[in-house]
Chain A
Amino acid sequence: MNCIAKGMLGAGSLLPLAVAADWQVNLEPGVTEISQAVFDLHMTIFWICVAIGVVVFGVMLWSIIHHRKSRGAKAHNFHESTVVEITWTIIPFFILIAMAVPATATLIKMYDKNGADLDIQVTGYQWKWRYQYLGEDIDFFSSLSTPKEQIQNQAEKGEHYLLEVDNPLVIPAGKKVRFLMTANDVIHSWWVPALAVKKDAIPGFINEAWTVVPEPGIYRGQCAELCGKDHGFMPIVVDVRSEADYQLWLAEMKQAKVQAADAATKDWTLAELMEKGEEVYNRACAACHQANGEGIPGAFPALKNSPMVVAADPAAHIDIVLNGKAGTAMQAFRDQLNAVELAAVITYERNAWGNTSGDLVSPAQISELKQ
């Protein structure tokens, strides 16, 4: 916590149980030049408000104490004064100008999107983020990794409860990174407080934001715009690495992609696919269709005993998983999951919870459809 803020706002140190992080009362200055400028602006306005408050509430308190009937105060008769009224209309106007000048300067700086070293497209999905590194052939989804048991209070909550993801966004330190925000379904908002970046991700729009993070580190944020049921469960983790480590990570990502493609060509047994499928299902599907496949009546359809899922011909089932269903919350998973994951999850849905199609959808079959 910022020590000035703590000392002056005071609340953190007044409360006996204080644990620094838990009783945080103020903004963090953040780690970028912009976030520091925003923090300074915030503190400036805050102190101006405090000063006005002291004067106004001071006069009010003085009147309450001294000009009360029980003390024998007699009411005076004045009830207007053009000079006074004009004065206290004009003075606030100048105070506002004093606020507007630094605010405008900071805003202009924030809007300077030129000269980016790296462009990343950020797409909001219900309820995960997709990161596409433009020109790098890297494209992955990032979703909450906190186990369900912690959310349901069946296990102790970890240090980064609700602020941890499976695949963090990795960016290089000291480089200007431009984010191109959009969304696939509803409006989301990508927010990392330490970078002072918050921008709405809106379907049909591309919004721009940028950051330069000087030092490596891990910075956490959350979706800020109500986006449906699991709005509270789509965090953002930005892993800022040194240029060398970033290059290493790029290489690893590209290699992993090759390996996944190889896996799709091998023969998978029903048991293997079921095991993999359950894991994928719980990660990608259970939020809506529920772990027991029964869905939420009126909102998300059941897969258990669903005619489409138990039909002898899996074509319709495969189609909806790959391509989604327009006008509903059912997303297209074609790009979200690789061929093995898609085959596994479809196989799982066709054979779990008493669905007994008994058939197997192979990764090879999916690879062909994905071409």
Chain B
Amino acid sequence: MNSLDQTLDTAAEHHGPASGISRWLYTTNHKDIGTLYLWFSFIMFLLGGCMALSIRAELFQPGLQLMEPDFFNQMTTMHGLIMVFGAVMPAFVGLANWMVPLMIGAPDMALPRMNNWSFWILPFAFTMMVSTLFMEGGGPNFGWTFYAPLSTTYAPPSVTFFIFAVHMMGISSIMGAINVIATILNLRAPGMTMMKLPLFVWTWLITAFLLIAVMPVLAGVVTMMLMDIHFGTSFFNAAGGGDPVLFQHVFWFFGHPEVYIMILPAFGIVSQIIPTFARKKLFGYASMVYATASIAFLSFIVWAHHMFTVGMPLVGELFFMFTTMLIAVPTGVKVFNWVATMFRGSMTFETPMLFALAFVVLFTIGGFSGLMLAIAPADFQYHDTYFVVAHFHYVLVPGAVFSIVAAVYYWIPKWTGNMYNETMGRWHFWLSFIGVNITFFPMHFVGLAGMPRRIPDYALQFADFNAVASVGAFIFGFSQLLLLYNVIQCIRSKDKATTEVWESAEGLEWTVPSPAPYHTFAEPPLVK
């Protein structure tokens, strides 16, 4: 964060960072770029959060109070797009930038100039996408899954800007992924063999391959939309001989691995944090690696479980039901390993550990609802209801987002050189934990009771749980301001962190001083 002042001295023998805005515009330093990614992601998190709160405010009571249905649809769409592409993915890339070189003993990312470019594309992409809200006809209003033909023939004119923005985000992600792979495969310190890599590095390596595999598919599908809209093709237009279901197949071939892109690095983070605070080596390191790889492989052959109701033939339904259920096996292995790591450990409960423990429990609950959704005949009742909304928010908010927050508390002493305020960290945790459950748990109930997703108004029997969920959303949303407070407080704190920071943390990142100097591992460390 403000490693500027402190690092100037320690990095005296190298050139330090430039001063002023040019430091951030021209930087090729992995730590600076990591910081940029993380701040960008936090801003997007607050923006997407404001949209979520506007949705929950409208849904507080039945009837239309605050907004027209079309604006409501723009809010649900933009909330999803911003949270997925603007908040969660860049946060993980930011963490990879900061931590992967530090964890493998590399001096920087392998491709530093490309690193700069992959970040600086993002603010432009998102400015363009958010600006569509102010255009005539409004912004994207077809859901973050943008099913054709609602997103082509029936879309507002601003859809072209949306397509361009998605292309830019895709380019950014692909470059980021190439960089991570090149760094991990080429810049490991001597002795850092693949099976010694910290799990965060392993999960990111696998995630990066997923990104390279599927972001071009997303680019392809939006390009087909562009052709349909402007150049008279009929990929998705039934009247012209096209196929609206093709859109869904292509989209979800991207979309399902995308889900794991947002959760595999989270697995990695939790696998770093739990051993530290249980003071015990991670149980089943090798099986964790194999489980991650299995999940990544399976993610390519389950996509149509998002489409059980499109009218696939029976064998199609069965194939995707069975493959989807199989994912429970490697995911279960991971959860069992985390629990076994805690078992007979010597646990303490600092803020990163609290978020990691909440991750294990709440992500597993999201996994259970995922298993229920995999059962095709039952999915006919759950599909496109709030049960699905509850499911993916459980895996993404107390899943991905909690892991990112845990990572911030875990590594921020290394970034800033100062300890954060533990009491405030716990306040942040407990308010988030309570808020997130009040928000999303009742959504299981209204979904099962029959409330479809993406509706701005609902029948009266859904009113009570919706009011509860809205209250929870405001508790959760406002408690995230505590994260901002804690980060700023930590940057300014006088409470210096040690090199090791935590009592029993293992890994190369804990061998460099706190704050980490602007340039680290100019001489590669030797890993025994």
Contacts and interface: CB of A to CB of B under 8 A. Distances in A.
B523 interface: no
B142 interface: yes
A38 B378 contact: yes
B347 A64 contact: yes
Contacts of A46: 372
B314 interface: yes
Nearest to A24: B449
B426 interface: no
Nearest to B310: A200
Nearest to B317: A107
A297 B135 CA distance: 10
Contact of B311 (A78, A197, A208): A208
Interface string A41-81: 11001100100110011011011100111100111111111
B150 A187 contact: yes
Interface stretch (B33-41, B173-181, B327-335, B411-419): B327-335
Nearest to A61: B361
Interface stretch (A91-99, A167-175, A268-276, A346-354): A91-99
B285 A80 contact: yes
Contacts of A326: 239
B463 interface: yes
A298 B287 CA distance: 55
Contacts of B450: 28, 193, 221-222
Contact of B377 (A38, A52, A204, A224): A38
Interface in B371-413: 371-372, 375-378, 380-381, 383-385
Contacts of A259: none
B21 interface: no
B284 to A, nearest CB: 5
A85 interface: yes
A5 to B, nearest CB: 9
Nearest to B229: A327
A161 B62 contact: yes
Contact of B347 (A73, A126, A203, A228): A73
B360 interface: yes
Contact of A198 (B147, B238, B380): B380
Contact of B372 (A42, A79, A104): A42
B156 A79 contact: no
B311 A207 contact: yes
Given A56-B336, A189-B309, A299-B156, A79 B284 contact: yes
Interface stretch (A131-139, A150-158, A244-252, A361-369): A150-158
B79 to A, nearest CB: 14
A187 B147 contact: yes
A316 to B, nearest CB: 22
A11 B442 CA distance: 10
A84 B244 CA distance: 47
A258 interface: no
Nearest to B243: A204
B136 interface: yes
B348 A203 contact: no
A311 interface: no
B333 A89 contact: yes
Interface residues of B, number: 101
B344 A187 contact: no
B70 interface: yes
Interface string A277-303: 000000000000000000011110000
B364 A80 contact: no
B526 interface: no
B160 to A, nearest CB: 13
A85 to B, nearest CB: 5
A336 to B, nearest CB: 18
A53 B243 contact: no
B249 interface: no
Contacts of A60: 339, 342, 357, 360-361
A344 interface: no
B329 A205 contact: no
B384 A224 contact: yes
A100 B323 CA distance: 11
A106 interface: yes
Contacts of B64: 151-153
B157 to A, nearest CB: 7
Interface string A204-237: 1101100000000000011111111111110000
A196 interface: yes
Task: For chain A, give the interface size range.
Answer: 35 or more
Interface in A304-363: 326-329
Contacts of B337: 85
A196 B381 contact: yes
Contact of B238 (A19, A57, A204): A204
Contacts of B332: 88-89, 92
Contacts of B461: 21-22, 24
A22 B464 contact: yes
A38 B381 contact: yes
B380 A59 contact: no
B245 to A, nearest CB: 6
A226 B147 contact: yes
A88 B375 CA distance: 22
Contacts of B282: 79
A138 to B, nearest CB: 25
Given A59-B339, A63-B343, A232-B456, A202 B244 contact: yes
Interface in B440-455: 444-445, 448-450, 452-455
Contacts of A157: 62-63, 460
Contacts of A81: 284
Interface string B219-243: 0000000000000000000110011
A69 B314 CA distance: 54
Contacts of B191: none
Nearest to A223: B452
Given A45-B375, A92-B328, A232-B456, A68 B311 contact: no
Contact of B348 (A19, A70, A106, A162): A70
A49 B280 CA distance: 29
Contacts of A21: 461
Interface string A102-133: 01101110110000000000000010000000
7 contacts: A22-B460, A73-B347, A79-B341, A153-B63, A181-B311, A198-B309, A229-B68
Given A56-B335, A208-B311, A233-B457, 5 more contacts: A22-B460, A60-B361, A85-B287, A103-B375, A157-B62
Interface of B: 62-65, 68-70, 73, 135-138, 141-143, 147, 149-150, 153-154, 156-157, 238-239, 242-245, 278-287, 309-311, 314, 317-318, 321-322, 325-326, 328-329, 332-333, 335-337, 339-349, 357, 360-361, 364-365, 368, 371-372, 375-378, 380-381, 383-385, 444-445, 448-450, 452-461, 463-465
Interface of A: 11, 17, 19, 21-28, 37-38, 41-42, 45-46, 49, 52-53, 56-57, 59-60, 62-64, 67-70, 73-81, 84-85, 88-89, 92-93, 96, 99-100, 103-104, 106-108, 110-111, 126, 150-153, 157, 159-163, 181, 185-187, 189, 191, 193, 196-200, 202-205, 207-208, 221-233, 296-299, 326-329
10 A-B pairs closest in CB distance = A204-B238, A298-B137, A232-B455, A298-B136, A207-B311, A79-B281, A49-B368, A24-B449, A76-B344, A224-B384
